[in-house]
């Protein structure tokens, strides 16, 4: 899945506290994703606190705990397809688990989990020198945008406006 429409940066995240939950597999790529979350949060005036979990499968339970104490959560992981169905089970479980946390708590969860066929594809999305995409930063921009829109839906604040130019 790829294409245009990535969340825009430049949002005001002053005072927003974001928990970054980071899996530990594929270290170099993870370091790039974590650095991207810090860059995007700094640019927006938000703060991040990073917590490690062993693997991507552990992201949802940690995200659930973080949702009790932070304004938003960004989950980061790298899952590379191998020769067994393990990839599908872990990727599906993480996606379902994070979705459930977001929906049941109402706390935005940024999905910074790369599910790739190859390590090269993941490196290209990790926000490293030479990468064409920066999925850690995008996940922060996404939760900031979602927080803005949730506030607007609740009757306070201005909603996030995407590339379409907003509601018609
Ligand atoms: C076991 C496993 C494998 C094979 N591959 C990955 C991976 O590519 N990325 C990742 O984040 N985690 C992987 N894991 C670990 C699982 O997510 C999980 O930590 C273990 O199954 C223990 O619950």
What domains appear along the chain, each with residue ranges and CATH number?
A: 17-154 (3.40.50.960)
Best CA proximity match to 73, nearest among 91, 92, 60:
60
> What would the pLDDT profile of 65-76 be if each residue is shown by its tens digit?
999 999 999 999
Q: Model-level pTM?
A: 0.94
Burial class (CB in 10 A: 0-12, 13-18, 19+), 58: middle
CB-ligand 1 contact for 113 (6 Å cutoff)? no
CB-ligand 1 contact for 87 (6 Å cutoff)? no
> What would the pLDDT profile of 53-109 be if each residue is shown by its tens digit?
999 999 999 999 999 999 999 999 999 998 888 899 999 999 999 999 999 999 999
Cβ neighbors of 47 (< 8 A, separation 6 or more) are 16, 17, 18, 41
86 carries an active-site annotation: yes
At 59, list the tokens.
């992201």
């Amino acid at each position: 899945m790829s294409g245009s429409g990535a969340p825009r940066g430049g949002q005001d995240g002053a005072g927003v506290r974001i928990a970054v939950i980071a899996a530990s597999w594929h270290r170099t790529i993870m370091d790039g994703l974590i650095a991207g979350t810090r860059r995007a949060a700094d640019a927006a005036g938000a703060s991040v606190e990073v917590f490690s979990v062993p693997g991507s499968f552990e992201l949802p339970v940690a995200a659930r705990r973080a949702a009790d104490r932070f304004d938003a959560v960004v989950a980061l992981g790298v899952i590379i397809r191998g020769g067994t169905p393990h990839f599908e089970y872990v990727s599906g479980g993480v996606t379902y688990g994070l979705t459930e946390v977001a929906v049941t708590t109402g706390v935005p969860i940024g999905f910074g989990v790369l599910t790739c066929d190859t390590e090269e594809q993941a490196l290209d999305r990790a926000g490293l020198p030479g990468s064409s995409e920066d999925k850690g930063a995008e996940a922060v921009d996404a939760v900031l945008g979602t927080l803005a829109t949730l506030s607007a839906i609740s009757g306070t604040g201005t909603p996030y406006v995407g590339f379409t130019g907003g509601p018609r």
